[in-house]
Amino acid sequence: MKPVAAIVFKDIVIEMRSKESLSSTTMFGVLVLVIFNFAFEPSSLERALIAPGTLWVAISFAAILGLNRSLAMETDNDCLQGLLLAPLSRGDIYLGKVASNFTFMIIAELVILPVFVIFNNLKFNVQFLEIAAIAALATLAIASVGTILSTISANTRMKEVMLPVLQIPLTVPVVIAAVDATGRVLTGETAEISSWLYLLAGFSIVYLTVSYLVFEFAVEE
Amino acid sequence: MANTLALESEDIRKTFGHFIALSGLTLSVKRGEFLTLFGRNGAGKTTFLKIAATLVRPTHGKLRIEGIDIHQEPERVRRHIGFLSHNTYLYRDLNPVENLRFFGRLYGMPDSEDRIQKLLERVGLERRASDPTRAFSRGLHQRLGLARVMLHDPSVMLLDEPYTGLDANAVEMLNQMLDEAVAQGKTVVLTTHDLEQGLRAATRAAIIDRGKIVFAGDAKDPGIREAYGQYVRMGVPR
Amino acid sequence: MRSKVLAVLSLATMIPTLYMIFFYAPTEVTMGNIQRIFYFHVPLATGGYVSAFLLFVGSLMFLLKHDLKWDRFGACAAELGVVFVSAQIVTGMIWAKPVWGIWWTFDARLTLQLVLDLIFIAYFMLRAYLPDREKRAKLSSVFGLLGMVDVPFNYFAIYMFPTQHPQPVLGPAGGGVDPEMGTTLTISFIAFGFLYAYLLDRRLAIAKVEEEIDYLKQVVFAHE
């Protein structure tokens, strides 16, 4: 477990130094929310229908940006090889990067979510906490599959451009679950949320396990 | 211990699709030996070192480092290995101390501060210890790379073309550290196509061509110079 | 030989299938003749899922065995997947226009098939941008595995949405169909099964030749 923590800590130190990843992903997420307000101009009635969608488009696009940055850091100067030379399994490297990607995405969401609440004139009450809980689970799901996909895309000639092509189709179930669960929180029909949460948790567990096992094929020459 | 072999490879083969990088490489290196592998680009030297460092999986064959099978216990093998190539694998946004501290943690060395200080002094970077390495020259990068390789006190050093791109100062430092490593009884395997640098401290030398060992002998034996000369002129020596 | 047998079998079953679809099967009462597209649509859909399963098998086996033949197997199955799923989506749209009055809606089943198609296409885009043969095999197998693991999640996620698509008529929840319709569908399944096997067999043979050509090209270039 210690090397996993070391990877997260290292990424945090690098981010504090360079301030590249968080500022750009957060700004991007907020901008997507702003753009959607121009694009739809929802009245207060339609807001509950459209708002969850805008939130999750913002978060999943911002995530793609952050995932690319996170991996670019490792491929710059071939640092990934340094990790591969260390006495930890390929799977642990994967878990370390998932943990660090998850942490950064959550930090970005700490800004994006309140902005979302303000833009949509929602309240900072128990609803907000429920949305935050959904966001945490969905973020884990996105980080689990996004970390290995960003490693794959970094190997292609298109590099960063390839990641959305691979990631968007695979995260369709996550986005559907997150959008519908968020919508239900906003409309107060919270009865069926638990099955969405199970789906998100199941998705994370399955992808964490499969990726842990096959990560070596994604990083080795 | 009965087993005095630091590196032992049996019929290592590696193909990339149809391209054959290694075609049955068998080699053993005793503890404390300094072996230099010569060969032109694409001969398979780098692939062999990467296989020994567990970075590349062989298509066929067995390899043991300090008696440990690379396939069965790669993590334990990595503890014994120090691998240096012309890439330093260092994070440009971290300073030398942070870089070494990170690698120290990966190797499970929580109290590495003293050792880091000593190593930085050793490579002459103690004054730049808190500057991000982004601003470093290639030579400084390489010195820090050397410190990274030595950090976990590996018993087998694998060096892939370490002289490439080094300034005179860094070459001097690398040679000193290699001499020290040999004095401490470490095993060194080095690849190069520079005959003089390669033979400087070597005890044994071998030539690899098209994925096979085509010549092996004592480094002090003039035979290696002859064979290498022939190899450079007309390919595989007879 | 095997390929010839499969070719003959698919031709020999496809002709009676076409006859049965257009002449033997009764006209559906509410939808009329357009319902006959269902005998193409359902086997095509099944072919899509079979492809997904075969891509999963091919990817997994390549990662376990490191034999390029499994990578070719996965890639060929995925190609058939694109063909079958796309054809299925098109037949569905042709059916939906007169029956629902629209070409497309983001209904559960349509979305599911579209996402499956997109994953297959993403798989090929990935392959196209990996020039090194071994890397292409390794990374696309990882993606193929991750992509096919996604299919059941997609299924659950999309099915928890209310849907417009007709519920399956066969199976425990369905009301069953007219026996003549049932026979036609069964024969159609057999014909499409042979067609699928024939196409996969041919495609695998071509893929093998393609690889040989790549190799020979390399050899020729190396000697120049």
Q: How many CB pairs under 8 A join A and C?
A: 89
**What is the structure's pLDDT at A148?**
97
HSE-CB for B70 with a 13 A CA cutoff: 27
CA distance A37 to A118: 12
**What is the structure's pLDDT at B237?**
47
Q: Percent of chain B, pLDDT > 70?
A: 97
The interface pTM score, or ipTM, of the predicted complex is 0.92
DSSP annotation string for B156-200: EEEEESTTTT--HHHHHHHHHHHHHHHHTT-EEEEEES-HHHHHS
Order of strands across the sheet with B68-69?
B19-30, B5-16, B60-65, B68-69
The token pair at A133 is 């809980």
Highest mean pLDDT among A60-74, B3-17, B166-180, B186-200: A60-74
CA distance B107 to B153: 10
Q: Which residues of A, range 8-67, sit inside 8 Å of B by Cβ?
A: 9-10, 13-14, 17-18
Q: C64 touching B, CB under 8 A?
A: no
A82·B103 Cβ contact <8 A = yes
Dmax over CA atoms of chain C, in Å, equals 70
Domains, chain B, ranges and CATH? 5-234 (3.40.50.300)
Of residues A76, A77, A85, nearest to B55 (C-beta): A85
- How many Å separate Cα C218 from the centre of its chain? 33
CA distance A60 to chain B (A): 27
The token pair at A87 is 């006495």
Q: Identify all chain C residues contacting B60, using CB atoms and an 8 Å cutoff.
A: none
Find the residue in C nearest to A164 (Cα). C122
- How many Å separate Cα B52 from the centre of its chain? 10
B233: amino acid identity, one letter: R
B204: amino acid identity, one letter: R
Q: Identify all chain A residues contacting B54, using CB atoms and an 8 Å cutoff.
A: 84-85
Q: Identify all chain B residues contacting A4, using CB atoms and an 8 Å cutoff.
A: none
Radius of gyration of chain C (CA): 20
- Alpha helices, DSSP H, located in chain A: 2-18, 21-40, 44-75, 79-85, 90-119, 126-154, 162-170, 172-187, 193-219
Q: Identify all chain A residues contacting B107, using CB atoms and an 8 Å cutoff.
A: 86-87
Contacts of C116 (CB under 8 A, 6+ apart): C48, C52, C81, C85, C151, C154
Chain C: list its partners (3+ Cβ pairs within 8 Å).
A, B
Of residues C142, C153, C158, nearest to A217 (C-beta): C142
**pLDDT class of B75 with cuts at 50, 70, 90:** very high
CA distance A156 to A163: 10
Find the residue in B nearest to A4 (Cα). B106
The token pair at C18 is 């076409």
CA distance C106 to C115: 11
A166·C122 Cβ contact <8 A = yes
C10 in Cβ contact with C194 (< 8 Å): yes
**What is the structure's pLDDT at C174?**
45
A169·C150 Cβ contact <8 A = yes
A20 in Cβ contact with A65 (< 8 Å): no
Contacts of B193 (CB under 8 A, 6+ apart): B38, B39, B40, B41, B161
A18·B106 Cβ contact <8 A = no
Which tens digits make up the pLDDT trace of B92-145?
Answer: 999 999 999 999 999 988 778 889 999 999 888 889 988 889 888 888 888 899
CA distance A92 to B78: 15
Q: What residues in chain C have per-residue pLDDT under 50?
A: 163, 170-175
What is the model's pTM?
0.91
What is the mean pLDDT of the segment spanning B76-87? 92
Per-residue model confidence as pLDDT tens for chain A (221 residues): 688 999 999 999 999 988 889 999 999 999 999 998 877 776 766 777 788 999 999 999 999 999 999 999 999 888 999 999 999 999 999 999 999 999 999 999 999 999 999 988 888 888 899 999 999 999 999 999 999 999 999 999 888 899 999 999 999 999 999 998 998 898 888 877 888 999 999 999 999 999 999 999 999 87
